């Protein structure tokens, strides 16, 4: 193996390493945005659930009062 092939091999491995790293960072950013969306949806769902629970309690209290 001569030096040209050796440096070509090293450059190829280095290029694949940096490409893999950039893909990994892209995937990480995408996962963080998905996690944020899920957290926001859970907060929204919890808020709607609390409203429904309050309405249900009011209905039960109105039935007991009659």
Tell me the residue length of the chain: 66
Q: What pLDDT, on a 0 to 100 scale, did the predictor assign at position 63?
A: 84
Residue 2, by phi and psi: left (phi above 0), alpha (psi -120 to 50) or beta?
Answer: beta
> For the chain, how far is it from start to end, CA to CA, in angstroms?
95
Give the pTM. 0.58
Burial 3-20, CB ≥16 within 10 A → b, else e: eeeeeeeeeeeeeeeeee
Count of Cβ atoms closer than 10 Å to residue 2 Cβ: 7
| Confidence at residue 28, expressed as pLDDT on a 0 to 100 scale | 95
pLDDT by residue for the chain (66 residues), tens digit each? 799 999 999 999 999 999 999 999 999 999 999 999 999 999 999 999 999 999 999 999 888 876
pLDDT of residue 57: 92
């Amino acid at each position: 193996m001569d030096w040209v092939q050796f440096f070509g091999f090293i450059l190829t491995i280095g290029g694949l390493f940096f490409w893999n790293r950039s893909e990994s960072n892209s995937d990480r950013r995408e996962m963080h945005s998905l996690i944020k969306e899920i957290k926001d949806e859970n907060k929204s769902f919890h808020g709607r659930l609390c409203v429904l629970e309050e309405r249900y309690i009011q209905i039960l209290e109105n039935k007991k009062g009659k």
